[in-house]
Chains A and B, each alone.
Chain A
Amino acid sequence: MSGINNRKLVIAVIGLIILMLTLIGCPAQQSMVGTDDAAQKVYVAPGTYDEFYAFMSGGFSGQVTVHGLPSGRLIKTIPVFSVFPENGYGFSEETKPMLNTSFGFVPWDDAHHPELSQTSGTPDGRWLFINANNTTRVARINLASFETDEIIEIPNAAGNHASPFVTMNTEYVVASTRFSVPIPQKDVPISTYKENFDGTITFIRVDPESGRMTIAFQIIVPGFNYDLAHAGKGPSHGWAFFTSYNTEQANTLLEVNASQNDKDFVAAVNWKLAEQYLAEGKAKDMSASYVNNHMNGSSRIVETEKHTSVKVLSPKDCPGLIYYLPTPKSPHGVDVDPSGEYIVAGGKLAAVIPVHSFSKMQKAIEDKLFEGDVDGIPVLKYESVVAGEVQNPGLGPLHTEFDGKGYAYTSAFISSEIVKWKLGTWEVVDRIPTYYSIGHLMIPGGDSQKPWGKYVVALNKITKDRYLPTGPELAHAAQLIDISGEKMKLLLDFPTMGEPHYAQGIAAELLMKNQTKMFPIEGNTHPQATKSEAESRVERKGNEVHVYMTTIRTHFSPDNIEGIKLGDKVFFHVTNLEQDWDVPHGFAVQGALNAELLIMPGETRTLVWEPARVGVFPFYCTDFCSALHQEMQGYVRVSPGNSSVAITYGTGK
C-alpha cells in the first residue's frame, strides 16, 4: 500500500519537475515565430531592392534616417535640424544659414514626426516634412535629392509637437504649442499661467509647385498642451484635429496635476472657415520674429529671410472655427481613418480608445449639443460625437495606423503591444507583444487614404536586451510585423538611430524614378563656382583669401598654395567638376575648427579655415574616389603675419 503511494509521489514529483523545466525553458512573453518563414519574408537578395522606403524621425539626433523595408537596412541619414560633420551640413558656408533661427544659429534639435506630402490623400513622394520640437520649426526635405531644402521657424510657439501633419493635398502643414507660453513672450511669474499663457495652432501654406512654406495664419487657443494632430480627409477634408492635455492648466508637477481631469479635448479646427475669416479680414497682424531658410536650387546656397509679422485669428471673433471634443484622459495621438469618418484618439491613461465620428460631430454642431465652452470655444457633448469605444485595448494606448482593409492598429505603451481592432464594430481581433514599450507605429501610407497594408513597424522606446549590449546607451529597437494575414507575425528586429518617434513609409518605385544623380555643372550658379581647372585661382582681399578650387579624379587645382599669412581667413570654394554618378570628393585641411566638405558632382561648397600656426599644412580628399585617391592631396603654406611671401598657386607646376 505504502509502496504504491510512494511510487505515485515519485511520478508526481518528476511530473512537476518536467513541467517546471518546460515553463522555465519557454519564456511566456516570446512569441514563437517560424524563423525560416520570417527570414524569407525579410530577405532582400544582394543587388535587389527593398519594396518600401521608411523615413524614421531621428528624435534627439535631429535628423531623419532612411531604412529599406522589409530588410530594415539603414540606407541614409538625412541631416535636418542638427549639424552633420560627415558632409559639412551646418559647417559649410552654403549650408550654415539652414540652421538660422530668430534665436541665432541653433546646431541641434529634437525631430519627432516625419510626414510625406500627399496628393488626393495619398503620399505623392515629393517632400517629407518634419518638426523641430525644441526651437519650433518645420523642415521640408526634397525626396529627389534627399536633402533639407527649407526650414521655417514657427513664431509664437514653444514645443512644436503636434506637427507637421499635412492636409489631403498638402495645402497646409500644421504646427502647434505643446508648451503654452505668454504670447507674445513677456516677463511674468510662472504662477500666472492661467492668466498669461496661451497656445497657438499654426497653418503653414505649402506652394503646390515649389513646396515653399509660408505661415498662412495662427489661431490663439486656450493654454493647454497641444500634443498631436492629423488632418481630415474625404468628407472631413477642410478640418484638422489636435489632441490637448493639461486642460487643468498646471504649470508644475504635470505628471500629477495634468492628470486630474477625466476628459481633455480633441480640438477640431475648420481651416476652410479660417480661410474665409482671413479673406474677410478677421485676422490681426501681430508682430513676430521668425526666419525662413531656403536652399536655392541652382547655386545650392541657403538664404535666410527674416519675417516680422504674422496673421492671427482668435476663436472669439471667429464662431465655428474650433470645437472641442471631450476625450478621456490626456489623449496623445489623434488619427483619422482612411475613409475620413473616424477620428481615433489615444487616451494614454484611459481604459478605452474613444473613436469620434465626423458625421456625428457635424450633426452635433448643427443641433448645438454643447456642454459648455472654453474661452468661446464650444465643447461638444461626448455622447453626441463618439462613434464607439474600443474596450480592453491594452494599457496606455498612444497611436493608431490603418491597413486600408477595415482594421486599425493601436500601440499600447504600458502593456507593450500592438492591438488590432475592427473599425465599426470596435472589437479587438488580435494583439502582439512588442519589445519594449512601443511608442509610435507605422504602416506605409497608414495615415493616408490608401495604406499599403502589408507591414506595421513598431517603434519602441526601450531596447534593453534586444541586441548585443553596447554599454549604457543603446540603439533603439524597431520591429517589423507582417499584417498581411489574419494574425500579426513578428518578422524582424532592427536598430534605429536617435529615438524614432513617428515614421512614414512609401512604395519605393514612387521615389526611385525621380532621383537626382548629380548636379549639372553648367547649371551651377554659385557666385564662387569654378567651372574648369583653367579658372582655378587664389585671390587676396585684405585679410581674406579666396581659393577657387576644383576637384576631379584625381587632383585638386590648385594643389600648392603659398602666400597665406597668420591672421588670414581662408575661404576654400571647392567645385567638384565630376559629372559621373557617385563620385563625390571630400575636402579636409589640418587644423580646421569646423568639419570637412563633401562635395557632390557639379556642386560648390565653401569651408572657412583660419590658420593658427606657421607652417605647411596638407589638405586631402576624404572620399575614396579612384585608384589614385591617396594621391589626391595638396599643401598650403602659412607664413607669419608680417611675411612678404606672395600669393602663388598651381597644380603640376
Chain B
Amino acid sequence: MRKIAKRLFAGAALLLIITYFVPLWSISLEAPQYPEGIGLYIWVNKITGKNPHDLKNINGLNHYIGMKEIHPESIPELRVMPWILGFFVVSGLVGSIAFPQRFLSFWLALLILISVIGLVDFYVWEYDYGHDLNPKAAIKVPGMSYQPPLIGSKQLLNMRTSSWPHIGGWAILISISLAGFALFYDKKEITA
C-alpha cells in the first residue's frame, strides 16, 4: 500500500478507539413537562441516562404504556460489541503496517457489514420495545405502537422522540470513510 493509504487505514482503525469513551447513539425525549430534557445514550457496552436518573425515569414513564423495562445487563449485544470494535482496531492497525491492499478491502467490507447488522439489530430491539406491550397497561391507544425512529424524530403521544448517532456513531462513519479513501487512493495509484 502507498504511505498515504497506510496512514489513512491506521487512522480509521485508531479512530474507532473513541467509541470506548463516548456514546454511539443518542435517543432524546422532549415533552412539555421535561424542560430539563430526558434521554438515553447507547454506548459500546452500556445504556445510560443523559441525566443521572433518566433510565429509571424513562422506565417509569414507559410502564404507563406497558413497555418492558430497559435493563442494559440483559442485552447481550452490549457484551459483544467491545470485542468486535477491539478486533477492528487491532486488525486495522496490524493490517495497515503488514498486510496488502486486499486486507484493507476485506476490513472495510466487514466494518460496513457489521455496522449495517448493528443498525438492523437496533431496529429489531426498537420494534420489540415498541410493539411488545403489556396488555394490562394503563394507557392503551388503539392501533398505537411506540417504536422509536431508527434515525430522525417522531411524536409518540406527548413525547417527541429523536434518535441520532452520537460522537461514537459518527466516529464509525468517519472511520469507514477514511478506510474508503485509503482504498480509493491505493487503487488509483496502482491503476495510474
Contacts and interface: CB of A to CB of B under 8 A. Distances in A.
B53 A628 contact: no
A385 interface: no
A312 interface: no
B109 interface: no
B36 A553 contact: no
Contacts of B52: 579
Interface stretch (B9-17, B56-64, B82-90): B56-64
What size tier do the contact residues of chain B reach?
Answer: under 10
B53 A627 contact: no
Contacts of B64: 626-628
B139 interface: yes
Nearest to B63: A553
Nearest to B138: A628
A552 interface: yes
Contacts of A578: 60
A49 interface: no
Nearest to B57: A580
A626 B56 CA distance: 16
A105 interface: no
Nearest to A520: B52
A440 to B, nearest CB: 36
A581 interface: yes
Nearest to B35: A47
Interface residues of A, number: 10
Interface string B2-44: 0000000000000000000000000000000000100000000
Contacts of A631: 138
Given A579-B52, A580-B53, A553 B139 contact: no
A112 B53 CA distance: 40
B57 A579 contact: yes
A581 B36 contact: yes
A628 B65 CA distance: 12
Interface in A571-588: 578-581
A553 B64 CA distance: 9
A579 B36 contact: no
Contacts of B138: 627-628, 631
Interface in B115-167: 138-139
A361 B52 CA distance: 58
B30 to A, nearest CB: 15
Interface string A608-627: 00000000000000000011
Contacts of A627: 64, 138-139
Nearest to B33: A582
A553 B57 CA distance: 10
Nearest to B49: A579
Most buried by A among B60, B64, B138: B60
A579 B59 CA distance: 12
A552 B139 contact: no
A628 B57 CA distance: 16
Interface in B43-76: 52-53, 56-57, 60, 64
Given A580-B53, A626-B64, A627-B64, 7 more contacts: A579-B52, A579-B53, A580-B57, A580-B60, A627-B138, A627-B139, A628-B138
18 contacts: A552-B60, A553-B60, A578-B60, A579-B52, A579-B53, A579-B56, A579-B57, A580-B53, A580-B57, A580-B60, A581-B36, A626-B64, A627-B64, A627-B138, A627-B139, A628-B64, A628-B138, A631-B138
Task: Give the top 6 A-B pairs by smallest Cβ distance, nearest first.
Answer: A579-B53, A580-B57, A628-B138, A553-B60, A579-B56, A580-B53
